[in-house]
Amino acid sequence: MSGLGFPSALSENVIVLPQTNQLKGLFTIIRDCTKPRSEFIFYANRIIRLIVEEGLNYLPVSPKTVTTAQNASFDGVEFDGRICGVSIMRAGESMEQGLRECCRSVRIGKILIQRNEETQQPVLFYKKLPKDVATRYVLLLDPMLATGGSAIKAIEVLLDNGCKQEQIIFLNVIASPAGIKNITAKFPKLRIVTAAIDDSLDERGYIIPGLGDFGDIYFGTEEK
């Protein structure tokens, strides 16, 4: 796994999970094209859970004191404001369960973006967002950040619906340096939380070393 140290030099709003042996081991499994789909799903879900937990660290909190069963005081914190998830269909839907496991009854919106074959530009095909999305902190879900075209379009949709950059935390599994540069240049106040930054993109725009099409593998629709 590569890219260590890259994001901190670019933007303090790009957060990479600590590259522990556990995380490296999980990535070794999901990147291995010989592993069965069942293992990919199980270990990808573990990585997604780690990403969600890290993303929640960047929500605002206020001090709160509670009384324990021993009638003692504990000085803790409570989250300010409300959250929602928004998945970029279809691969982003693979991250929804991890969010639900961390945030009970969380609302999740959907955005579908596809590339226009003639212009090669991302086009919004469908969106369904919570009516009060502008008042919530948004966890934007998409596992692979390649060029950033779809993510940029999705972020523009959120901004058009009243969200502020500071309210959006983009959660993703693997990012490319190019994708991170493209997003942070356009949205410098938005946070990105990723588990890995890979080396580059190939001529087709695929992340290298990557792991293939995350959504196809996860949902079992990859071509044989």
Task: Please identify every residue annotated as catalytic.
Answer: 115, 119, 213, 216
Residue type, 43: Y
Cα gap 175→195, rounded to integer Å:
8
On whether the CB atoms of residues 26 and 48 are closer than 8 A, the answer is no
Question: Distance between CA atoms of 101 and 119, rounded to whole angstroms?
Answer: 39
Question: Tokens for 173?
Answer: 């599994």
- Going 97 to 204 to 179 to 199, the CA torsion angle's sign is positive
Residues sharing a CB contact under 8 Å with residue 140, sequence separation 6 or more, in sequence order:
85, 86, 88, 92, 151, 154, 155, 158, 168, 169, 170, 171
